[in-house]
């Protein structure tokens, strides 16, 4: 494995498995002088904890206390690497022994074996959703940097199990179950999740990320465009199977005259572009959506094979979420923040001489 | 600008503007011994030429002859960088003088100015669709490598202007107008494009890429997953606003039990995963789709501003395509090939010791 | 700061300050299946501990217990990132308070302030020699990989305080004070160091690294040549001011006919090239030397300035080594191993298709 | 081969073989707005031409006209990639046919075969000294950037064939034969070279590079230190076998009290550090030296083997230089400029937020 670093300038390198000693990461390239505390990172980690989404959440209790190991002195970054670690405390390896040789459908068991020839089968190992802890912590560092530049990132659920929400109050989403952008949808989604759970099944959904205050000029054509880097960032999260920017797939069904965002002296007349033109931020709100597949660990019997190729009937035990939503929402927010922090520093260096 | 390199191991670096001396690129990291000729690259470039899509194509005549400059000796790669160049011949700068100070809606004019403080306004400069020439040429080198490993890449149009095709014959798409995956849709799409052209408007569509013979094990968790890298690759192409893998956005509306691809002794029972599990190829066909927005250069009057912020009415002159499809199809094929070549070499090095 | 990652394929990212919570690192890109234990890493760290060099060593007691955090399962690497951490236990910040505002000559105090605008003044912070702990631990992982490929790395002192050793027994150097390549020089160097210490001064020296069993073909022309990467690796260690390969600076005074290593049917007739031709390993022993400057923390009064630019007389307190040798020797060995591991994996991927 | 890119932010990618179509490169990451012309690049290439060093130069006539292909509009960089190409005109493949299967001692023939399994044997192919053309052209772009920031780079010969020069007038070196830093040494070196040529032999020497106006703060600890990157840059040039910074190897024989550069209110009292402390520029002149081995193509009979391992007596024909000096001097100057341009942009981005 060698893809554990994200970013070219503001770079997060992560490590850790679900049932190893712990998980963590190193942020290299964060400028000096940024206000950063353990509490700021912990706050983001807490958003990822079970309980944000009622029954959709797993019953596991994961304290997930982060420890800041380097790079901060007297409350501000020093310009040296910012390292953090979260100890694994609730491991319960016994829950997973029965799948040591069986490939769970929709999971990475089979491909990890194909790639590495061996795998840590305990709870998914590196391919477990717990891996995203390091992303959220790294994203908190990115958000600390962005905050000093007037950029904020938001993420909320716009659809769950096929039921869309009206994005009436995205600003309030961070404090609402499911990170819902409206109040009324919560009860409806809660009922939907209970119903699915009763059938031993799981659901997916769609998450929207938005970034406010992004200055025009971020993104490095032609391959490291802001939209390309953001697509990479969001698609790198386990359950994500699709990413779109602005009008996205709907733009493929519009004509040019209706899709173009006219420009006026007061600004853009629309935002079908999602705040990105030619791969470079335009100064509008950056808007992207990620399609989240249903969690593959259903409580029903499934046909699969073991690592000898023999067919078996599998019924996954253990405690599992009904949906990656809402726990994936802070992860996608973190990935958006990491992308913007990287692109921001890329751009600053480029303009330095010009100014 | 600093994002002109794609790939970590098999790396393409490109250069060139639509009205400069020419465009080209350097492929570094291609193994020695791969059969490669100028004709192989030219063949891919010819697929990108106008004329593949009837009226959807621009009237410009662009010979686009590629010249191979290095890295090949006696018909095979030597392991040294493979460089190529395409001279610009049909420049006609006079067509573009009227937009020197005006920002075309939906184009990168405004963001390039914001980012760089100055821009080559002739025909879009670096942000022109001509930039993709270098991608297609680089992709031809990637395909030469993949061919020796039994991997082939295909790309075809599955929807144009909202009208979907039935993917009955993807294998024949390379020789069909619009790179259509069925014969009957061609006339329908042709009529649609003529109609749109008559209204001075443009359309978008959806392109599907498929890769056959991809061995299990490609993709580097956690950030350089195959799906993440592929999303980055496809989204980095100018007109693309969305990318999905396998079932994609539709998976967000399925339950886990229906989305999971069951495994049997004879292989997978479905391919909702698009050939990728946990970011690693599973051995199935890799499937992705890209949403292509309508070309912003419509032949209608548009409201916009100039670089002093004054409102103006713009009517874009010059010769323009009605849709980025079909010319974008070989570009997306090339980006898929570049992604797979990179991931293939990444993986080979990792398994070398283990084997 | 953003230079905390070494390597392109086998990559070590480090973090930590001398008086922070601890130091550690993440090795990403290590293939699966390599035998690796905490004890193997600890053994290399122990070589770096005080006591290897008699009076040349600091009196500080540093247990430096490493903890392996991820990437190893049942005694072998899994292909996922290998993370490790060493807790700081003996911090004694009080020793360093007096230099909070004073720039120590020959140290990085002044340049860190210039670069970052602020610094962790406690014991040098990130610029402390303790930073090399992470290199040695990472190098141990590299050596585990190299060992499985039949490559071993050695490092020994060939000159101390201007007094050269005869390299009679390099193989025994790892178990000898000063990592000396001969027995007789030890007493002489010991006397020299005691004498220098008595004068409140410090000395430098020259360290030689050798790598045995390196296959022909490692090194990536034209910029990532093996000699270039090795020079970068060795020069990146704090006290190193010069690097040479094979005959090195002496080659600049030879004629071509005497410097060329003739080739015979039984192999090379000499090794002025240091095992590297055209930046690529030749199959001979790889040989390099690093010039180590004397430690700048002398126990004499020195003229310097404080961070307001005022001249002050400084007398550095605290416990300090008389020479970076021998503690730097395992660090240079580690950097050599990291370079070779990276180049080895780079090469394996390139030849994979050809073979 | 995959090491053809230098730099992380200001990045040069090169291509080309001595007897292929030509050589060139792409500079990606150069900020917009830098004054740059073909003539500026040509001027640097002309310094590398034969004739700078009397008899030390080859008799070949190489016009080496550079063509600027992209990235410059109306005399200034646009921020897009700057590509350039030099056509090979005087190829004379016939001179080299006799060494198709013979490994020249001291050359890369044997290692290229080992690495790639095949090679372009005509004049060394990629391993030819002609490869440095692309470095010099890329270095000219770097110098254009540095010039706008008040940084200039110089390079001159401090020793040839064991005969040192007194660095009395480094400023005049660019216009003097051998790039000599004093007038009187020229005749002496000229006689030395004639004498060596008469014996059919070759000589090496030592080149010093200096950079003036470098601001304090460049260099990225801990691995991408300025000295480490500079060592990598200089050592990556074909004939270089050693690199030292400031006092270099001499520092290994000094005591700490004599090696330390005392600081006063008026600045540093010396420059043993070579302008770099802790890997970060101090604001003093950056000073480095490179040891250049004698050219291996001597006009004497040499013992070697062919690619079947059979011993043969080789007498290299063709036209060859007597020393890599002076032609290597502008190459080392270029590598220094490329290093500083990269480190400068790295640093600017890091301080952006702080300022």
Structure confidence at residue B79 (pLDDT) = 95
List, in sequence order, every residue forming a beta bridge with C67; answer none if it has no partner.
C85
Q: Is A128 annotated as a binding-site member?
A: yes
Mean local confidence (pLDDT), B87-96: 69
Q: Is the pLDDT of residue D352 over 50?
A: no
Residue D194 vs residues D53, D190, D323: alpha-carbon distances, Å? 11, 6, 11
- Residue to substitute from C23, C66, C78, C86, interface A, most A β-carbons within 10 A: C78
**Closest CA relative to residue D275, chosen from D289, D288, D292:** D288
Touching check for B338 and chain A: CB below 8 Å? no
**Closest CA relative to residue A328, chosen from A164, A182, A207:** A207
CB contact under 8 A, A116 and C78: yes
C-alpha–C-alpha distance, residues C44 and A48, integer Å? 39
Give the pLDDT band of residue B11 (cuts 50, 70, 90).
Answer: very high
E strand map for chain B: 5-6, 11-16, 22-28, 66-68, 72-73, 76-77, 82-87, 152-160, 163-164, 205-212, 240-245, 263-264, 267-268, 276-277, 280-281, 286-292, 302-305, 311-314
Mean local confidence (pLDDT), C58-62: 54
C-alpha–C-alpha distance, residues C345 and B352, integer Å? 8
- Residues 6+ away with beta carbon under 8 Å from B256: A106, A201, A202, A203, A294, A295, A296, A297, A298
D chain contacts of residue A147, beta-carbon cutoff 8 Å = none
CB contact under 8 A, D22 and B70: yes
How many beta-carbon pairs below 8 A join chains C and D? 381
Structure confidence at residue B50 (pLDDT) = 67
Nearest CB neighbour to C126, from listed D221, D265, D294: D221
C-alpha–C-alpha distance, residues A324 and A292, integer Å? 7
pLDDT digit string, tens, across residues D34-45: 999 999 999 999
Structure confidence at residue D242 (pLDDT) = 98
pLDDT digit string, tens, across residues D177-186: 999 999 999 9
A chain contacts of residue B274, beta-carbon cutoff 8 Å = 241
Structure confidence at residue C309 (pLDDT) = 92
Instruction: Choose between D98 and B310: higher pLDDT.
Output: B310
DSSP-assigned letter for residue A177 = G
Touching check for C348 and chain A: CB below 8 Å? no
DSSP-assigned letter for residue B213 = S
Touching check for B16 and chain D: CB below 8 Å? yes
* Chain position carrying tokens 């890109």: C29
Mean local confidence (pLDDT), C107-133: 91
pLDDT digit string, tens, across residues D49-66: 765 555 455 555 557 999
Taking phi over 0 as left and psi of -120 to 50 as alpha, with beta for the rest, D332 belongs to alpha
A chain contacts of residue C76, beta-carbon cutoff 8 Å = 118
Instruction: List the chains bordering chain A where 3 or more Cβ pairs fall under 8 Å.
Output: B, C, D
Q: Is the pLDDT of residue D2 over 80?
A: yes
Touching check for B352 and chain A: CB below 8 Å? no
Asked whether this complex has an ipTM greater than 0.90, the answer is yes
Within a 10 A sphere around the Cβ of A221, how many other Cβ atoms?
28
Structure confidence at residue B122 (pLDDT) = 83
Lowest mean pLDDT segment, chosen from A264-268, B1-5, C260-264: B1-5
- Residues 6+ away with beta carbon under 8 Å from C149: B353, C213, C215, C344
CB contact under 8 A, C348 and B346: no
CA of A113: which chain B residue's CA is closest? B217
**What is the least distance, in Å, from the CA of B116 to any CA of chain C?**
24
Residue C178 vs residues C185, D252, D253, D257: alpha-carbon distances, Å? 9, 15, 16, 22
pLDDT tens-place values along chain A, 355 residues long:
489 999 999 999 999 999 899 999 999 999 999 999 999 999 999 998 765 555 555 555 557 999 999 999 999 999 999 999 999 986 555 556 677 899 999 999 999 999 999 888 887 889 999 999 999 999 999 999 999 999 999 999 999 999 999 999 999 999 999 999 999 999 999 999 999 999 999 999 999 999 999 999 999 999 999 999 999 999 999 999 999 999 999 999 999 999 999 999 999 999 999 999 999 999 999 999 999 999 999 999 999 999 999 999 998 766 678 999 999 999 999 999 999 999 999 997 544 333 3
Instruction: List the chains bordering chain C where 3 or more Cβ pairs fall under 8 Å.
Output: A, B, D
Supply the DSSP string of B222-256, one letter for each residue: BTB-HHHHHHHHHHTSTTEEEEEETTGGGGGGSBH
C-alpha–C-alpha distance, residues A84 and A95, integer Å? 28
Q: What's the structural domain count of chain B? A: 1
CA of C297: which chain D residue's CA is closest? D256
Touching check for B350 and chain C: CB below 8 Å? yes
Structure confidence at residue C320 (pLDDT) = 78
**What is the least distance, in Å, from the CA of B125 to any CA of chain D?**
9
Residues of the domain holding D196? 5-352
Looking at residue C71, which CATH number applies to its domain? Answer: 3.60.150.10
Taking phi over 0 as left and psi of -120 to 50 as alpha, with beta for the rest, C51 belongs to left
Mean local confidence (pLDDT), B88-112: 80
CA of C71: which chain A residue's CA is closest? A16
Instruction: Choose between B165 and B318: higher pLDDT.
Output: B165
pLDDT digit string, tens, across residues D228-271: 999 999 999 999 999 999 999 999 999 999 999 999 999 999 99
Touching check for C148 and chain B: CB below 8 Å? yes
C-alpha–C-alpha distance, residues B67 and B86, integer Å? 6
**Helices and strands of chain D, counted as H and E runs:** 7, 18
**What is the least distance, in Å, from the CA of D137 to any CA of chain C?**
15
Q: What average pLDDT does chain B have?
A: 92
Structure confidence at residue C350 (pLDDT) = 44
CA of C75: which chain A residue's CA is closest? A120
pLDDT digit string, tens, across residues C126-146: 999 999 999 999 999 999 999
- Which of C:205-224 have CB within 8 Å of B? 221
pLDDT digit string, tens, across residues C231-244: 999 999 999 999 99
A chain contacts of residue D354, beta-carbon cutoff 8 Å = 31-33
pLDDT digit string, tens, across residues B278-291: 999 999 999 999 99
**What is the least distance, in Å, from the CA of D336 to any CA of chain C?**
13
Structure confidence at residue A93 (pLDDT) = 54
CA of A115: which chain B residue's CA is closest? B217
Nearest CB neighbour to D280, from listed C111, C278, C305: C111
CB contact under 8 A, D345 and A349: yes
**What is the least distance, in Å, from the CA of B261 to any CA of chain A?**
6
CB contact under 8 A, B31 and C352: yes
Dihedral pair phi/psi, residue A116, rounded to 5°: -105, -15
* Tokens of residue B49, six digits: 């030429």
CB contact under 8 A, D278 and C303: no
Structure confidence at residue B92 (pLDDT) = 56
CB contact under 8 A, D115 and C246: no
Nearest CB neighbour to A69, from listed C3, C20, C78: C20
CB contact under 8 A, A106 and B346: no
* Chain position carrying tokens 């430096």: C64
- Which of B:53-72 have CB within 8 Å of C? none
Q: Is A197 annotated as a binding-site member?
A: no
- Which of B:84-113 have CB within 8 Å of A? 103, 105-108, 110-112
Structure confidence at residue C348 (pLDDT) = 76
Nearest CB neighbour to D145, from listed A31, A80, A353: A353
Touching check for A355 and chain D: CB below 8 Å? no
Touching check for B191 and chain A: CB below 8 Å? no
C-alpha–C-alpha distance, residues A334 and A143, integer Å? 8
pLDDT digit string, tens, across residues B199-256: 999 999 999 999 999 999 999 999 999 999 999 999 999 999 999 999 999 999 999 9
Nearest CB neighbour to C353, from listed B80, B145, B351: B145
């Amino acid at each position: 494995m060698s893809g554990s670093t994200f970013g070219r300038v503001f770079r997060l390198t992560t490590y850790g498995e679900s049932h190893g000693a712990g998980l963590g990461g190193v942020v290299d390239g964060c400028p000096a002088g940024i206000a950063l505390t353990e509490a700021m990172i912990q706050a983001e980690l807490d958003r990822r904890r079970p309980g944000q989404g009622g029954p959709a959440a797993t019953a596991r209790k994961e304290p997930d206390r982060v420890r800041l190991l380097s790079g901060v002195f007297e409350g501000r970054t020093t310009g040296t690497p910012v390292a953090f670690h979260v100890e694994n405390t609730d491991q319960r390896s016994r829950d997973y022994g029965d799948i040591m040789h069986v490939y769970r459908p929709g999971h990475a068991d089979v491909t990890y074996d194909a790639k590495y020839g061996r795998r840590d089968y305990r709870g998914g190992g590196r391919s477990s959703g717990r891996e995203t802890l390091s992303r959220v912590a790294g994203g908190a560092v990115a958000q600390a940097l962005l905050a000093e530049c007037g950029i904020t990132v938001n993420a909320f659920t716009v659809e769950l199990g096929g039921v869309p929400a009206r994005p009436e109050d995205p600003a309030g989403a961070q404090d609402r179950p499911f990170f819902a952008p409206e109040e009324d949808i919560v009860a409806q989604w809660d009922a939907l999740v209970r119903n699915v759970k009763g059938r031993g099944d799981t659901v997916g959904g769609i998450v929207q990320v938005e970034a406010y205050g992004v200055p025009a000029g971020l993104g490095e054509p032609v391959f490291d465009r802001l939209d390309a880097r953001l697509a990479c960032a969001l698609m790198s999260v386990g359950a994500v199977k699709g990413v779109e920017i602005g009008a996205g797939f709907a733009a493929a069904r519009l004509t040019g005259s209706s899709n173009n965002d006219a420009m006026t002296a007061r600004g853009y007349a629309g935002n079908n572009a999602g705040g990105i033109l030619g791969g470079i931020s335009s100064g509008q709100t950056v808007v992207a959506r990620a399609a989240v597949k249903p969690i593959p660990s259903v409580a029903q019997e499934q046909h699969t094979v073991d690592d000898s190729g023999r067919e078996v009937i599998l019924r996954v035990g253990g405690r599992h979420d009904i949906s990656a939503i809402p726990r994936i929402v802070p992860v996608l927010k973190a990935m958006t923040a990491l992308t913007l922090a990287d692109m921001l520093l890329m751009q600053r260096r480029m303009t330095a001489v010009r100014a």
